[in-house]
A and B are shown apart, each in its own frame.
Chain A
């Protein structure tokens, strides 16, 4: 590892060379930023990984079954395991998908599961991302570069190769697709993850298209090529969220979507990766029920734990939350990422009472969690090593099989006082080494 650390500047210059960036909007202007890479990798032992792997596969299988059930028979609601309320008033629930079955019955093809490693050595799931989880390209390209810059590091350590990610994506697309070519649909270069869209297109051999390059004729989707030739499209790995996907069905102002693509999907002539409607399974309210889903659908005990969570929707939980609010984290169910997360410990009395009243008046809107004291990881700050909070996003690919990519995105916070490691709020990333032992 030492040689890699001394070479860390060359790693960053290679990242620059490949244009490894993410875009952000500051004061209404689009800017591309380097996503800072920290050379000290997070190591996960082979044994520990095996347990994580089993737990993640179990969780994603249950979530896929949940989605299939919710837009189908709704057994879990009828059996009162998940209250109706949490399904039908979820922003991510799409009535359009009622009665629909995606090709090969896969809903969440690419799941980004966020975990933290507690000081008690237990891994806790923080969040499921079943819509458009991004970020896998960063550790993927980082590995390519670090292997190049410091081959001895990889000779001397038994580190599982992570460079099969594009192949995993491709296999999955080939499995779910209908007749036609593979397309990655991007909102365009001014999207924060554009680098990733184009990188995956290069690595999977799919066509990178914008909404304007695709069109619907009847119940088929086509890619427009020069000279008026049309190519039938069989699978769309879309990096556009549900609400912008089809202006005929969802947000009518959307200029980045493909008009009537949902009719093609409904007719079963194209696979959409991930399936529309997944938002109902990854919101912060449904999160509470995932361990129950695992028992319900798989008849298994959950291998990985949720962070201890309470739903003020239930009277008992509400009572507990109000009594212990000062030490809890409150999350707004409707918000995504690091937004709408409130650490009550740090609030002024006035703000605290405001939140307390909101929990009382709108119990459905919130979940409350114990603050998980998670492990810190060493990072470089200049030439100094400091400790910072870090999480892990694991990527689970569901095609013919459900597999966990032997790597992940380890993100750390810049700010020593912050628990929030979301890349949209600053911070950097590390490689994640799954050890082969």
Chain B
């Protein structure tokens, strides 16, 4: 494995990590909302759309279940997230190894099958498993520190973003920030914006306890702009 990395590849590593993490967290979250919907006309999916800032183009809970999972043309769907992960991963074979990439291939294969059958969400469990296997393989095979740090930074920032939206407790969010984001960002000074990192730290550390869905637009802005390697 070579240790050099271009800006374009750095960008792809970052987004590969974000999409893989997004698939994993979204799958779990959507499962919860679908579960809530079972108990009656709560239309919990509307809340999901609102908190994750995706347009609510769904006619009802059934329509949501189908499109949020399987609609390739819906950029918020798990299917299109997985395609985005794949599109980034396919150009990184020699950086992440064929083995790591194979888990994305396998997940896509399951997705294609399930989409054709409009399968229930539990049938997508192997996808969540493959996403975890992907991270295991990355840990095992990616030995170049810079590449690893970019992947970890992408993963943790995505986790921060999703947990923020999903109203996870602020103390947990603070842990993600300290444990993952800051450590990795500090080791990537050439491709991160230090001012944004400091601001992100400041904003998150000012919150504790319950997350009531405060206005976190500035935090999201920091998350999306602190990594500076753009194609």
Do B1 and A205 have beta carbons less than 8 Å apart?
yes
Which B residues lie within 8 Å of A189 (CB)? 90-91
Contact B101 A19 (CB under 8 A): yes
A113 vs B117: C-alpha distance when bound (angstroms): 46
Cβ–Cβ contact B98 & A199, under 8 A: yes
CB of B4 within 8 A of CB of A223, answer: yes
- The answer to whether A213 and B101 have CB atoms under 8 Å apart is no
Please give the number of chain A residues whose Cβ is less than 8 angstroms from any Cβ of chain B in the complex. Answer: 27
Across the interface, do A205 and B90 meet the contact criterion of CB distance under 8 Å? no
Interface presence of A202 (CB below 8 A) = yes
Q: Is the C-beta of B191 less than 8 angstroms from some C-beta in chain A?
A: yes
Provide the bound-state CA to CA distance between A207 and B98, in Å: 15
Q: Does B43 touch A at the CB level, under 8 Å?
A: no
**Docked pose: A16 CA to B1 CA in angstroms:** 23
Whether A227 sits at the interface, judged by CB under 8 Å, is yes
Say yes or no for A224: interface residue by CB 8 A criterion.
yes
Asked if B93 and A212 make an inter-chain contact with CB atoms under 8 angstroms apart, the answer reads no
* Contact between chains at B5 and A226 (CB < 8 Å): yes
Contact: A16 with B6, CB < 8 Å?
no
Given A181-B2, A205-B2, A224–B7 Cβ distance below 8 Å? yes
Cβ B2 vs Cβ A206 within 8 A: yes
Does residue B50 face the partner (Cβ distance < 8 Å to A)?
A: no
- Contact across chains for B91 and A226 when beta carbons are under 8 A apart: no
Query: In the complex, are the beta carbons of A17 and B7 less than 8 A apart?
Result: no
Q: By the criterion CB–CB under 8 Å, are A198 and B7 in contact?
A: no
Least Cβ distance of B11 to chain A in Å? 9
A208 within 8 A of B: yes
User: Which residues of A in the span 1-52 have a Cβ within 8 Å of any Cβ on B?
Assistant: 16-19
> Is B121 an interface residue, CB under 8 A from the partner?
no
Within B145-176, the residues touching A (CB, 8 Å) are: 146
* Contact between B93 and A202, CB atoms less than 8 A apart: yes
- Residues of chain B contacted by A18 (CB below 8 angstroms): 98, 101-102, 105
- Within the complex, what minimum Cβ distance (angstroms) separates A170 from chain B? 12
The answer to the question of B97 belonging to the interface, with a C-beta cut-off of 8 Å to chain A, is: yes
Q: How far is the CA of A115 from the CA of B5 in the complex (A)?
A: 40
| B105/A231 in contact, CB under 8 A | no
**Size bracket, chain B contacts:** 20 to 34
Q: Shortest Cβ distance from B230 into chain A, in angstroms?
A: 11
Neighbour of A17 across the interface among B1, B6, B106, B191, CB < 8 A: B106
Alpha-carbon separation in the docked complex, A336 to B216 (Å):
59
Asked if B114 lies at the interface with its beta carbon under 8 angstroms from chain A, I say: no
Tell me, rounded to whole Å, the shortest Cβ–Cβ distance linking B78 to chain A.
20
Chain A 214-257 interface 0/1 with B at a Cβ cutoff of 8 Å (1 = within): 00000000011111100100000000000000000000000000
B7 adjacent to A226 (CB under 8 Å)? yes
CB-CB under 8 A for A227 and B4, given A189-B90, A202-B94, A202-B97: no
Chain B: minimal CB distance from A167 (Å):
15
Q: Is B221 an interface residue (CB 8 A)?
A: no
Query: Known interface pairs A199-B93, A201-B94. Does A17 touch B2 (Cβ–Cβ under 8 Å)?
Result: no
Question: Given A198-B94, A213-B8, are A227 and B2 neighbors across the interface (CB < 8 Å)?
Answer: no
CB of B98 within 8 A of CB of A202, answer yes
- Nearest to A141 among chain B residues (CB) is B98
* Cα-based distance from A198 to B93 in the complex (angstroms): 6
Interface check A130, CB cutoff 8 A: no
Q: Mark A157-201, 1 if CB is under 8 A from B, else 0.
A: 000000000000000000000000110000001000010001101
Is A325 in contact with chain B by the CB < 8 A criterion?
Answer: no
Contact call B102/A19, Cβ cutoff below 8 A: yes
CB of B190 within 8 A of chain A? Answer: yes
B109 within 8 A of A: yes
The docked-state distance in angstroms from the alpha carbon of A223 to that of B9 is 12
A385 to B98, CA, bound (A): 33
Q: Which of B58-104 contact A (CB under 8 A)?
A: 90-91, 93-94, 97-98, 101-102
Specify which chain B residues have a CB less than 8 angstroms from the CB of A258 in the assembled complex.
Answer: none
* Pairs of residues from A and B, 7 with the lowest C-beta to C-beta distance, nearest first: A227-B190, A201-B94, A198-B93, A202-B94, A213-B6, A17-B102, A226-B10
Given contacts A16-B105, A18-B101, A213-B9, 5 further A-B contacts (CB under 8 A): A18-B105, A19-B93, A223-B6, A226-B229, A231-B4
Q: Return 16 A-B CB contacts under 8 Å, by A number.
A: A17-B106, A18-B101, A181-B2, A182-B2, A194-B90, A199-B93, A205-B1, A207-B4, A208-B94, A209-B6, A213-B8, A213-B9, A223-B6, A226-B6, A226-B7, A228-B190
